[in-house]
C-alpha cells in the first residue's frame, strides 16, 4: 500500500506516550490507505535511558495530539469513536494497558473525519477520497472478534494501536518493554504488518539521545521478527559506497510500503544511529558499533548467498564499508578535537560532552582522498558532515608497509601514517560492541552512556586508545576481505589444508590463471576497481591496510590480535613466494603460539616457516624448526613425523656443517641421571647411568654423547667441568639405558648441567638443571700446607698499610705456586715492583728473598717441607668515612705428587682515619687565618715528623711567573708541632696566615700533608723479625676547602699621622665600587651608605657622619670631614663602615690599617717633655 503523504510530515507533541501501530493485511485490494500521520500521531516524549548509577526523572503527562494530512486538515464531523463497524468507514483498534486512552480521546474529535485522502491503486491510478470516517474501538470489543468469512474481511481493523505510558527507565525495562514484545509477537503470529514510530520525531526535536534509544529499540525488536521482511535484499544492494547516506534510497517509503528488504533496513538503522552519534560527538561509539554491524551483515550475506548476484559481494561490501566508516569516524573525531567549544551543544537531549582538548589522530580521510590518484583514479573530495553525507573513499597504491621491502611496497604511503597512538586495552571484535537482548543489555556494553561516562571519568588518552582499538578491528577485517577477494579472483593461491610438504607444489601451481574480468563490472568502489587491475596494485593496497592495522594493534597493546595479523600477512607473502618476508613474520610469532599451547596455530606457523627456511637455504634455522615440529603433540600423523626426521638426518649427513641445536631438544629427548655414590677420590674412575627417552618414531645414530657436570659457583670466571662420555651408540624410540664414564681430575663439588648428543653435523643440547639431585664431590688427599693472612686492626685510610701473608709447608712441599691478590670491596693492592719476604728453613735459619710483583700476582719458587715464607702486602683504602674492606688471597700450588690444590682465604680489615680534621677560615684586615684542629683516632701513639700546606705557595712571589697557586703562605705559627707525639684522643690546633694574590683568582682547595710514624708495640715477635721489611713512614693527606669572600668595595682614607690637641684634622674618604665597569646592570650594590664610627671620648666630628649615594660599577667617589681630638695620646682612628655590607666584602687600604694617630698637647703649653720620636 502507498500514500501520498510523507513520513516526514509527522510532528512531535509532549505526551508521555509511546505508540506502536500495525495495519491489517488483506488478500484483496486494500481500502484507501491511512496517511501515516494518523497511525503515528500519538507520540512519546523522552523515555529516559539512565547512565549507570544515575537517577531517572519521570515525565509528567501533558496530553495533546497534533497532526495534519497531505491536504492539510481534519475535523470531527462524521467521525465515530467506539461506533459501529460498517462499510462507510474504516476501523482502528487500540490496546490501552496503561490508561493512556483517556488523554488522547478528546483531541481525536478535532481531527476526524479524514479528508482529501490520496489513494493509489495497484494499477497505478490515483483516487481522491473527500471524506473518510474513522471508527476507533478497543481491541477486546465484541465486534472485533476474529472472523474467517471471506466476505467479512473488510470489517477487520485497518490499523492496530498499542498505547504505552512510562515514568522512568526502570518501569520501561520491567513492564513496558515486555508488553511491547508480546504485542509485536502476537501481531506477527496473526500475520499482521506492524511498525514502531518514535525516533524521527525525537530527531527533529533535536532530542538526539532519545531518538538514539528508539532506534536501538527498533533494531532489537526487528531482530526478533525477521520474518516480516519480504526479501533479504533487492536487485541492487550496492557494495558499501555511501553507507552513511540515509537518502541513498527512499528507505522510509520502502518501510511504510512494506517493501524494504532486510539488507536495506539494517543499513538504514545503522546510518541513522551513526548520524545521531556524530551529532552527539561520539565517533568512538560509531566505530564500536560498526564492527557489530558489519559482522551481522556478513552473517546475513553468508546465510543467503543466493540472494546476492555477485560471488564477490560479501568481501567487497565489507572492505568498502569498513573504509567508509573509518573515514567518517576519523573526520568526526578530528572535528571533535578541533572544536572543543562546541562539544557542550548536544541538542535538546541534554547530553553534555566535556570540552577537553582531545589527543588528535590525523584523519584517515586525508589519506583516503589522495589514494585514488596513486591507483590511476579520480575521485571528488567530500567535506560535508559524516553524519549526513556519504564518504568518498579512495586508496593509495603506495605504502611504507613494514611487511614488505620490495620496490612497490617501498613506494607505498601509509593509510594512517603519522598516528601517534599508545595504549594498553585489548578487545576482540565480538567484545567491541554488540546489542543483544535490548536496551538493558546494551547499557552494559561499552556504548552510549558508558562511553559518555568514559569521557567524564577517564582521560582523553584512554578514549583515544579505545577509538584506535575499534579502528584496528575495522582495518584488519578489511584487509582479510581484500585477501579473500584476491583468492576468488585467482590473483593469489587459495588456502590449503593438510600436510604442507605434500600439498605445497599444488599450492604454487600455475594452472589457475587470474580471472580475466573487468573490475569495473564487478566493483563499484573505486579503490577495489583499481586494486585488482594488477597483482602489484593489489599487493600495495593490501600491505598498506595491514600495515596500519599492525600499527594500531601495537599501539593498543593487542598482542594476540597482532600475532593473528602477522600470520595473515606472512601467509600472504608465502603465497607470493616472498619467503624472506614471510620467514621474518613467522619467526616473530612462532614462540607466542608455542607458549600459549595453541597446537593447530603452532603447526600452521612452523610448517610454513620451515618451508621458507628450506627455500632460503637457512639450514641452521630450518633444523631448529624441524626439531620443534617433532615435539610431541605438534604433528598428528606418522607420515609427517617421518618426513621431518628424515630432513634432520639428511642435514646431519652433510659435511662441513656444525649445527648446535639448543631449542626444543628437551621435548625430543628426556634424560635422567643415576649416580651410584656422591663422593669420589681424586683421579678415581667414575661411572653414571643415563636413561634417555627418545620421542622420535625412528632410531637415531649418535656419534658421541657427553654429560656435563659443572661447579655450582665459579668465582674465578673459568668453567671447570666434569665430562662423562660415551661414543657410537643408537637411540631407539622409547627408553634407552646407557653408561657414561670419566676420571675425576678436578677436586671440587659438581652438579649436572647438560647432555650433549652429536649426530653427524648436528649437536643436540638437553639441559639437566633441576629435577632429581645430581651432585658429585671430588675430594682431595690431605695437605699440610697452610696459608694465613693477618691484618692489624685498625688500618688507616688514605695511606699505605700492610697485611701479613704467611705460608707454611709443614710436612709437605710445594713444587710451584701462584699467589693472586684482590679486594672484592674495592681497596687498592699497591703494585710495588718487588716484594721482600722473610724465609725461614726447617733448621730455623732466616734469609730475605725477593719476588717480582706483577699484576697483583707472585710466582713462588719451590718450597721444601718445614719451611715458612712471610711478607707484607702493601694496600691502601681511599674512603671518606671508616669502613671495612675485604682482601682475598688465592693460592694455587702443585705438590711434588703433581696434585693441584687451591686455597682462598678472605681477610676483613677495618680502616679508619688516623686523624679527624676540622678547619676554619677567618678573614681579617685583608688577609686570612686558617685554623686546623687535628685529633688522633689511632689506637696507638702517632709521631708527627713533618707537615705542610700543599698546593699553596710557601711565600709571596712578586713575579707572576714564579707563582704556582692562587694563595701564598704568610706565616706558619706551628713549628713546634714537628716530632710531636699524639696519643689516642689527643687534640692539637694549628694556625696558618695566608692571602690571595688577587681577588680575581678562583678559590681552590689546600691539602694538609702530615707525615707520621706508627709507634708499633715491639711485643709481637713477628714485628721484631720483620722490622727490616716494614716501612713505617706514612703520609696523610686531608683536603682543606678555602672559601674566600669576594671584595665588592674598597675604602681608602687620608689623614695626618701627627696632630695637636684641639687642632682640626681633615679626613679624606675614598670609596670605590670594585665590580666590573663592563657590567651596566644596576643592582642594589650601586646604592651605598657609609657611616663614620668614632669614640666621642676621643674625637669630635665636624661634618656629616652618614651619607647615602649611588656608585656605579668601577667608579670611585670622594668625601671629607674634619676631626677634632679632645685628648692627647695614640688615638684610634674612626672606622668607616658601609651599612648593610658584610665587612669581609670590603677591602681597606694599607693606610687604613694603620689605625692610630698621635695627638700631642698644644704647642703653646710649657712642658718638660721633649719629643724624642713619633714612633712612625
Q: Which residue has the higher pLDDT, 241 or 224?
A: 241
Whether omega before 25 lies within 30 degrees of 0, making that bond cis, reads: no
Q: Report the pLDDT value the prediction gives residue 770, as an integer from 0 to 100.
A: 67
Q: In the chain, pLDDT over 90 holds for what percent of residues?
A: 17
pLDDT > 60? residue 165: yes
Cα 775-776-778 angle, rounded to 5 deg = 150
Instruction: Work out the number of other CB atoms within 10 angstroms of the CB of residue 353.
Output: 18
Q: Phi/psi at 1119 (nearest 5 deg)?
A: -140, 160
Give the mean model confidence (pLDDT) for residues 585-593: 86
Which pLDDT score, from 0 to 100, does residue 1016 have? Answer: 56
pLDDT at 976 over 60: yes
Residue 48 and residue 59: Cα distance in Å, rounded? 9
pLDDT tens string 173-202: 777 778 887 888 887 777 666 655 576 656
Helix (H) or strand (E) holding 850: strand 846-852
* Cα separation, 45 vs 165, whole angstroms: 10
Region 138-157: mean pLDDT is 72
Could you count the other beta carbons within 10 Å of the beta carbon of residue 388?
A: 14
Give the integer Cα–Cα distance in Å for 1050 and 1146. Answer: 6
The stretch 910-939 carries a mean pLDDT of: 84
What's the pLDDT tens digit per position in 884-899?
A: 999 999 998 887 667 7
Separation CA 266–CA 263 (nearest Å) = 5
Q: Which of 833, 877, 875 is nearest to 858 (CA)?
A: 833
Contact status, residue 270 vs residue 293, Cβ threshold 8 Å: yes
Residue that has been written with the C-alpha cell 656444525 in this structure: 658
Q: Among the listed ranges 132-141, 693-702, 759-768, which one has the minimum average pLDDT value?
A: 132-141
| pLDDT band, residue 341 (cuts 50/70/90) | very low
Lowest-confidence range among 45-54, 204-213, 878-887, 1117-1126? 45-54
pLDDT for 8? 30
Helix 460-488 vs helix 559-575: crossing angle, to nearest 10:
20
User: Beta 846-852 vs 1099-1102: how paired, if at all?
Assistant: unpaired
**What integer best gives the mean pLDDT of the chain?**
74
Distances (CA, A) of 544 to 475, 569, 1117: 10, 11, 81
Contact 351, 280 (CB under 8 A): yes
Higher pLDDT, 298 or 411: 298
pLDDT at 681: 76
Residue pair 782/756 in contact (Cβ under 8 Å)? The answer is no
User: What pLDDT, on a 0 to 100 scale, did the predictor assign at position 24?
Assistant: 35
pLDDT of residue 428: 30
Three cell numbers written together for 315: 568481501
Cα 1153 to Cα 100, 225, 607, 979, 999: the distances in Å are: 112, 113, 99, 37, 19
Residue 544: its pLDDT value, please? 92
- C-beta neighbour count of 859 within 10 angstroms: 12
Q: What is d(CA 344, CA 1144) in angstroms, rounded to the nearest whole number?
A: 66
pLDDT of residue 597: 64
pTM: 0.50
Question: Which tens digit of pLDDT belongs to each residue from 505-541?
Answer: 777 765 555 666 677 778 888 888 888 888 888 899 9
Least confident stretch, 234-248, 788-802, 833-847: 234-248
Query: Residue 376: left (phi > 0), alpha (psi -120 to 50), or beta?
Result: left
pLDDT tens digits along 784-838: 788 898 888 788 887 778 888 999 988 778 888 999 999 999 888 888 888 889 9
User: Can you give the pLDDT at residue 570?
Assistant: 93
Reply yes or no on whether the pLDDT at 29 is more than 60: no
In this prediction, what percent of the chain has a pLDDT beyond 70? 72
* Cβ-contact 93, 40 below 8 angstroms: no
Give the residue from 45, 35, 52 showing the smallest Cα distance to 12: 45
Residue 821 has phi, psi (to 5 degrees) of -120, 140
What does the pLDDT read at residue 211? 79
The segment with the largest mean pLDDT, out of 60-64, 535-539, 921-925, is 535-539
Q: Which of 47, 66, 345, 59 is nearest to 211 (CA)?
A: 47
For 706-723, what is each residue's pLDDT tens digit? 999 998 876 545 578 899
541 against 337, higher pLDDT: 541
**67 or 539, which is more confident?**
539
Neighbours of 240 (CB within 10 A): 25
Average pLDDT over residues 943-961: 86
Of 257-266, 430-439, 597-606, the one with minimum mean pLDDT is 430-439
- Give the pLDDT confidence score for residue 609 in this predicted structure: 92
DSSP letter assigned to residue 387: T
The rounded distance, in Å, linking the Cα atoms of 1035 and 278 is: 84
| pLDDT for res 453 | 47
Span 1010-1037, pLDDT tens digits: 888 776 544 445 444 444 555 556 777 7
Contact 947, 1010 (CB under 8 A): yes
Please give the Cα distance from 1095 to 1113 (Å, whole number): 32
Residue 620 phi/psi, 5-degree rounding, is -65, -50
Give me the mean pLDDT over the 347-358 stretch: 40
Q: Is the pLDDT of residue 580 over 90?
A: yes
- The pLDDT of residue 707 is 94
- What are residue 672's phi and psi, to 5 degrees? -130, 140
Average of pLDDT values for 333-360? Answer: 49
CB 384 within 8 Å of CB 327: no
pLDDT at 264: 85
Instruction: Please report how the helices 559-575 and 579-595 are oriented relative to each other, as an axis angle in degrees rounded to 10.
Output: 150
Output DSSP code: residue 515.
P
pLDDT at 1093 over 70: yes
pLDDT band at 415 (very low <50, low <70, confident <90, very high): very low
pLDDT exceeds cutoff 60 at 1130: yes
Q: What is the pLDDT of residues 286-298, one digit of tens each?
A: 999 998 899 988 8
Mean pLDDT of 393-417: 33
Model pLDDT, residue 247: 83
Q: What 3-state class would DSSP assign to 665? A: helix
CA dist 336 and 1131 (Å) reads 88
Q: 246 pLDDT band (50/70/90 cuts)?
A: confident
The residue-averaged pLDDT of 411-433 equals: 29
Instruction: Give the H or E element holding residue 889.
Output: strand 883-895
What would the mean pLDDT of 359-381 be, rounded to a whole number?
37
Amino acid at each position: 500500500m502507498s500514500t501520498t503523504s510523507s513520513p516526514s510530515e509527522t510532528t512531535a507533541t509532549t505526551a508521555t506516550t509511546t505508540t506502536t501501530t500495525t495495519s491489517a493485511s488483506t488478500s484483496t485490494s486494500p481500502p484507501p490507505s491511512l496517511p501515516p500521520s494518523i497511525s503515528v500521531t500519538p507520540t512519546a516524549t523522552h523515555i529516559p535511558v539512565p547512565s549507570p548509577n544515575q537517577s531517572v526523572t519521570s515525565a509528567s503527562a501533558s496530553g495533546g495530539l497534533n497532526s495534519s494530512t497531505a491536504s492539510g486538515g481534519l475535523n470531527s464531523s462524521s467521525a465515530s469513536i467506539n461506533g459501529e463497524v460498517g462499510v462507510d468507514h474504516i476501523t482502528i483498534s487500540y490496546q490501552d494497558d496503561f490508561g493512556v486512552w483517556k488523554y488522547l480521546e478528546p483531541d481525536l474529535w478535532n481531527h476526524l473525519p479524514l479528508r482529501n485522502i490520496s489513494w493509489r491503486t495497484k494499477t497505478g491510478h490515483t483516487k481522491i477520497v473527500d471524506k473518510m470516517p474513522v471508527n476507533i474501538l478497543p481491541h477486546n470489543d465484541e465486534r472485533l472478534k476474529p472472523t474467517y468469512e471471506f466476505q467479512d474481511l473488510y470489517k477487520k481493523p485497518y490499523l492496530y494501536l498499542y498505547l504505552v505510558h512510562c515514568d522512568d527507565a526502570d518501569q520501561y525495562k520491567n513492564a513496558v518493554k515486555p508488553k511491547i514484545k508480546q504485542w509485536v509477537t502476537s501481531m506477527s503470529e496473526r500475520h499482521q504488518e506492524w511498525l514502531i514510530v518514535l525516533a524521527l520525531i525525537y530527531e527533529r526535536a533535536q532530542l538526539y539521545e532519545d531518538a538514539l534509544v528508539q532506534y536501538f529499540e527498533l533494531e532489537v525488536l526487528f531482530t526478533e521478527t525477521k520474518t516480516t521482511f519480504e526479501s533479504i535484499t533487492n536487485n541492487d544492494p550496492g557494495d558499501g559506497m555511501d553507507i552513511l547516506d540515509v537518502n541513498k534510497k527512499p528507505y522510509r517509503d520502502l518501510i511504510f510500503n512494506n517493501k524494504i528488504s532486510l539488507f536495506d533496513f539494517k543499513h538504514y538503522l545503522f546510518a541513522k544511529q551513526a548520524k545521531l552519534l556524530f551529532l552527539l560527538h561520539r565517533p568512538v561509539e560509531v566505530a564500536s558499533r560498526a564492527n557489530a554491524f558489519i559482522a551481522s551483515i556478513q552473517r546475513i550475506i553468508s546465510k543467503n548467498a543466493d540472494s546476492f548476484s555477485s560471488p564477490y559481494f560479501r568481501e567487497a561490501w565489507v572492505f568498502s564499508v569498513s573504509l567508509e566508516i573509518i573515514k567518517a569516524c576519523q573526520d568526526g573525531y578530528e572535528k571533535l578535537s578541533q572544536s572543543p567549544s562546541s562539544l557542550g551543544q548536544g541538542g535538546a537531549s541534554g547530553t553534555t560532552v566535556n570540552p577537553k582538548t582531545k589527543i588528535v589522530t590525523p584523519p584517515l580521510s586525508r589519506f583516503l582522498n589522495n589514494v585514488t590518484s596513486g591507483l590511476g583514479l579520480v575521485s571528488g573530495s567530500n567535506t560535508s558532515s559524516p553524519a549526513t553525507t556519504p564518504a568518498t573513499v579512495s586508496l593509495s597504491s603506495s605504502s611504507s608497509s613494514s611487511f614488505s621491502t620490495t620496490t612497490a611496497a617501498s613506494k607505498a604511503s601509509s593509510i594512517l601514517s603519522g598516528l601517534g597512538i599508545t595504549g594498553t586495552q585489548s578487545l576482540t571484535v565480538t567484545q567491541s560492541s554488540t546489542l543483544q537482548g535490548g536496551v538493558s543489555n546494551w547499557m552494559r556494553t561499552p556504548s552510549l552512556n558508558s562511553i559518555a561516562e568514559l569521557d567524564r571519568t577517564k582521560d582523553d588518552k584512554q578514549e583515544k586508545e579505545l577509538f584506535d582499538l575499534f579502528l584496528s578491528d575495522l582495518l584488519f577485517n578489511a584487509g582479510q576481505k581484500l585477501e579473500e577477494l584476491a583468492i576468488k579472483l585467482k590473483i593469489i593461491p587459495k588456502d590449503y589444508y593438510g600436510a604442507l610438504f605434500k600439498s605445497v607444489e599444488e599450492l604454487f601451481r600455475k594452472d589457475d590463471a587470474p580471472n580475466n574480468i573487468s573490475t569495473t563490472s564487478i566493483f563499484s568502489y573505486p579503490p577495489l576497481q583499481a586494486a585488482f587491475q594488477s597483482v602489484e596494485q593489489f599487493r600495495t593496497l593490501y600491505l598498506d591496510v595491514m600495515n596500519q592495522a599492525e600499527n594500531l594493534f601495537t599501539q593498543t597493546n593487542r598482542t594476540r590480535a597482532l600475532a593473528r595479523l602477522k600470520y595473515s600477512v606472512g601467509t600472504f607473502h608465502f603465497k607470493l613466494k616472498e619467503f624472506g618476508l614471510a620467514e621474518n613474520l613467522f619467526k616473530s610469532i612462532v614462540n607466542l603460539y608455542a607458549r600459549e599451547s595453541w597446537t593447530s596455530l603452532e603447526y600452521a606457523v612452523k610448517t610454513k616457516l620451515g618451508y621458507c627456511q628450506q627455500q632460503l637455504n637457512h639450514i641452521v634455522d630450518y633444523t631448529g624448526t624441524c626439531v620443534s615440529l617433532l615435539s610431541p603433540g605438534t604433528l598428528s600423523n606418522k607420515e609427517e613425523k617421518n618426513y621431518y626426521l628424515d630432513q634432520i638426518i639428511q642435514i646431519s649427513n652433510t659435511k662441513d656443517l656444525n649445527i648446535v641445536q639448543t631449542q626444543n631438544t628437551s621435548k625430543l629427548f628426556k634424560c635422567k641421571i643415576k649416580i651410584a655414590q656422591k663422593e669420589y677420590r681424586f683421579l678415581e674412575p667414575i661411572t653414571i647411568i643415563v636413561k634417555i627417552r627418545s620421542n622420535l618414531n625412528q632410531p637415531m645414530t649418535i656419534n658421541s654423547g657427553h654429560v656435563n657436570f659443572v661447579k655450582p659457583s665459579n668465582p674465578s670466571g673459568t668453567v671447570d667441568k666434569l665430562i662423562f662420555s660415551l661414543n657410537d651408540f643408537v637411540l631407539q624410540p622409547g627408553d634407552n639405558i646407557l653408561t657414561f664414564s670419566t676420571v675425576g681430575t678436578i677436586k671440587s663439588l659438581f652438579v649436572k648441567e647438560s647432555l650433549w648428543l652429536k649426530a653427524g653435523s648436528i649437536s643436540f643440547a638437553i639441559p639437566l638443571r633441576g629435577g632429581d639431585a645430581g651432585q658429585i664431590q671430588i675430594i682431595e688427599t690431605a695437605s699440610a700446607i697452610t696459608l694465613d693472612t693477618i691484618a692489624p686492626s685498625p688500618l688507616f685510610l688514605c695511606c699505605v698499610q700492610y697485611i701479613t701473608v704467611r705460608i707454611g709447608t709443614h710436612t709437605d712441599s710445594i713444587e710451584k705456586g701462584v699467589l693472586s691478590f684482590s679486594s672484592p670491596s674495592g681497596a687498592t693492592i699497591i703494585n710495588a715492583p718487588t716484594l721482600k719476604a722473610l724465609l725461614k728453613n726447617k733448621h730455623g735459619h732466616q734469609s730475605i728473598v725477593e719476588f717480582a710483583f706483577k699484576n697483583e700476582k707472585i710466582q713462588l719458587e719451590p718450597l721444601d717441607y718445614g719451611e715458612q715464607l712471610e711478607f707484607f702486602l702493601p694496600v691502601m683504602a681511599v674512603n671518606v668515612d671508616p669502613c671495612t674492606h675485604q682482601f682475598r688471597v688465592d693460592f694455587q700450588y702443585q705438590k711434588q705428587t703433581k696434585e693441584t690444590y687451591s686455597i682462598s682465604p678472605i681477610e676483613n680489615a677495618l680502616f679508619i682515619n688516623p686523624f679527624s680534621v676540622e678547619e676554619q677560615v677567618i678573614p681579617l684586615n685583608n688577609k686570612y687565618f686558617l685554623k686546623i684542629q687535628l685529633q688522633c683516632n689511632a689506637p696507638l701513639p702517632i709521631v708527627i715528623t713533618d707537615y705542610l700546606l700543599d698546593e699553596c705557595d710557601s711565600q709571596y712571589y712578586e713575579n707572576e711567573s714564579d707563582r704556582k697557586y692562587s694563595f701564598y703562605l704568610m706565616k706558619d705559627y706551628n713549628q713546634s708541632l714537628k716530632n710531636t707525639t699524639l696519643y689516642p684522643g689527643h687534640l692539637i690546633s694549628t694556625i696558618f696566615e695566608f692571602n690571595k694574590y688577587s681577588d680575581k683568582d678562583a678559590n681552590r682547595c689546600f691539602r694538609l700533608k702530615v707525615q707520621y710514624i706508627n709507634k708499633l708495640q715491639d711485643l709481637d715477635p713477628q714485628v721484631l723479625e720483620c722490622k727490616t721489611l716494614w716501612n713505617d713512614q706514612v703520609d696523610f693527606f686531608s683536603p682543606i676547602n678555602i672559601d674566600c669572600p669576594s671584595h665588592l668595595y674598597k675604602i681608602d682614607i687620608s689623614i695626618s699621622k701627627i696632630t695637636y690637641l684641639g687642632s682640626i684634622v681633615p679626613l679624606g674618604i675614598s670609596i670605590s665600587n670594585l665590580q666590573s665597569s663592563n657590567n651596566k646592570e644596576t643592582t642594589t650594590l650601586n646604592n651605598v651608605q657609609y657611616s663614620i664610627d668614632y669614640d666621642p671620648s676621643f674625637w669630635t666630628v665636624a661634618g656629616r657622619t652618614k651619607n647615602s649615594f649611588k656608585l656605579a660599577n668601577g667608579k670611585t667617589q670622594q668625601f671629607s670631614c674634619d676631626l677634632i681630638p679632645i685628648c692627647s695620646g695614640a688615638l684610634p682612628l674612626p672606622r668607616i663602615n658601609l651599612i648593610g655590607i658584610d665587612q669581609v666584602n670590603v677591602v681597606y687600604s694599607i693606610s687604613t690599617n694603620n689605625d692610630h694617630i698621635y695627638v700631642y698637647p698644644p704647642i703653646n703649653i710649657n712642658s718638660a717633655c721633649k719629643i724624642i720620636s713619633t714612633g712612625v
